[in-house]
A = this chain, B = another copy of it.
Amino acid sequence: MAYPLEQALAVMVTTFHKYSGKEGDKYKLSKAELKELLNKELPVFGSKQMDEAEFRRLMNDLDHDKDSEVDFKEYVCFLACITMGFNEFFKDGPTKQPRKK
């Protein structure tokens, strides 16, 4: 029997690896890999509307150890922050999945 919450955590992992293995360190996201992941997998975040300087700032915010890449821990922290934003959005509305318009 599948458990949605367990599947959700697994999706977070498999999505990371879907992009991190494309170039450079197999277990880290380069700037280009991060941009592609956000554009294709998390459009709600709005990375497509970001200009180069804004995206560089985002990368800098996520890259806590300043190695110019985003490792899995940095990625999960980022998703946690986004999830907290989702929660604020949910707290007042009905507790249903967000419907795509």
Contacts and interface: CB of A to CB of B under 8 A. Distances in A.
Interface of A: 1-18, 21, 27, 41-44, 72-73, 76-77, 79-80, 82-84, 86-87, 90-91, 95-98, 100
B2 A100 contact: yes
Indicate how many identical chains form the complex: 2
Contacts of A90: 10, 13-14, 17
A85 to B, nearest CB: 9
A86 to B, nearest CB: 5
A100 to B, nearest CB: 6
Given A17-B95, A80-B80, A95-B14, A5 B41 contact: yes
Given A76-B83, A84-B72, A5 B42 contact: yes
